[in-house]
Amino acid sequence: MKIERLLGIVVYLLNRDFVNANTLAEKFEVSTRTIQRDIETINLAGIPITSMQGANGGYGILDNFKIDKQMVNTEDYQFIITALMGMNSAYNNKKIENTLEKILNVSKLENSTSTKVKIDFSASREGKNIDEYIRLIENAIDEEKAIEFEYTDSYGNKTLREVEPLGVIYKWHGWYMFAYCCDKQQYRQFKVVRMRNLKKLDKFISIKHENIEILLNRYEKQNKQKYVDVKILCEEEIRISIEEYFPNAKIVENEKGNFLLQFHGVMNEVFWKGLLFTYGNKVKIIEPEELKIEFMAKAKEIIYMYKESENK
């Protein structure tokens, strides 16, 4: 929308001395002629933009113009900037970048991007289609439209889903969509990375949904997963790694030089089980029995697979 672009240009200029028309056109994905018209519109709105000719010239806003900082202190701005930069590392969205630009301008902090605490989720980015899918989901939510996609669950079952999206959530190192499933007529949570062929339908949502926070709380209470008490005997050489990946677990020292790892885990969650499996013979499951059986079965499958390949 034009009003968003005009505001974006103002904020962009407030953070810089002079910017030429070509740079602005590239930044906001419009022609230089459109930028020139936008500059005229901004001037007419009372924001003092000046122009300078030459190699280092361009458009700039007079130094005495500033946006009201309101009742927010330096520490508040640092927290806001840290959160926005962290979110931007997990989700590449120009709206987040524009918001960050606005906050940087209002705060007027020196080295404002060099915050004491940095949150970087870039290493946990799940795939190149994630950003595109999230934007499509957000767009469908804004327009109150249904979407359709192919979904593969954690057991490998594939289904075609038609849902009414209500929100996108980042948790457990991944993006999830909370939506109303039209076929099941229930609220469900879908992992975005497991979606394929996502498309927005020309169909409006069928019902007026409650606030997403209320729906999420109710969903989590109704869908409590099975938790088990886990005890693992671990070799001393993997202690640092165990403490890193299981920070909330209890560690009990053992006289034999190893230690016992104890925690409360969701039985059907593959993340922590996958971590334990990577330690190989450095860990030994003490309980529960069903976890021990599951690991033995997986180990046998791997051995069988390699024996089969050797015999071919």
Residues 187 and 237 in one domain: no
The answer, yes or no, to whether residue 125 has pLDDT greater than 80, is no
Residues 148 and 175 in one domain: yes
The answer, yes or no, to whether residue 70 has pLDDT greater than 60, is no
Lowest mean pLDDT among 36-40, 88-92, 184-188: 88-92
The total of structural domains in the chain comes to 4
CATH of the domain at 204: 2.30.30
What pLDDT score was predicted for residue 137?
A: 94
Mark which of 194, 222, 250 sits at the end of a domain. Answer: 222
Residues 33 and 111 in one domain: no
Residues 233 and 275 in one domain: yes
Instruction: Compute the average pLDDT of residues 24-53.
Output: 85
Instruction: Compute the average pLDDT of residues 80-103.
Output: 67
Which H, E and C letters describe 208-266, residue by residue? Answer: CCCCHHHHHHHHHHHCCCCEEEEEEEECHHHHHHHHHHCCCCEEEECCCCCEEEEEEEE
Residues 153 and 202 in one domain: yes
Say which residue, 254 or 309, is predicted with more confidence: 254
Say which residue, 64 or 254, is predicted with more confidence: 254
Mark which of 124, 158, 192 sits at the end of a domain. Answer: 124
Closest C-alpha to 14, from 81, 64, 79? 64
What pLDDT score was predicted for residue 196?
A: 94
The answer, yes or no, to whether residue 150 has pLDDT greater than 90, is yes
CATH of the domain at 236: 3.30.70
The answer, yes or no, to whether residue 285 has pLDDT greater than 80, is yes
What pLDDT score was predicted for residue 127?
A: 61
Residues 104 and 38 in one domain: no
CATH of the domain at 16: 1.10.10.10
Per-chain mean pLDDT for the chain: 82
Residues 104 and 47 in one domain: no
Instruction: Compute the average pLDDT of residues 158-181.
Output: 90
| Phi, psi values for residue 239, rounded to 5° | -55, -50
**Whole-angstrom Cα distance, residue 262 to residue 268?**
17
What pLDDT score was predicted for residue 160?
A: 96
Residues 144 and 211 in one domain: yes
Mark which of 204, 222, 240 sits at the end of a domain. Answer: 222
pLDDT digit string (tens) for 3-13? 678 878 887 88
Question: Domain range holding 160?
Answer: 129-222
Give pTM, 2 decimals.
0.55
What pLDDT score was predicted for residue 267?
A: 80
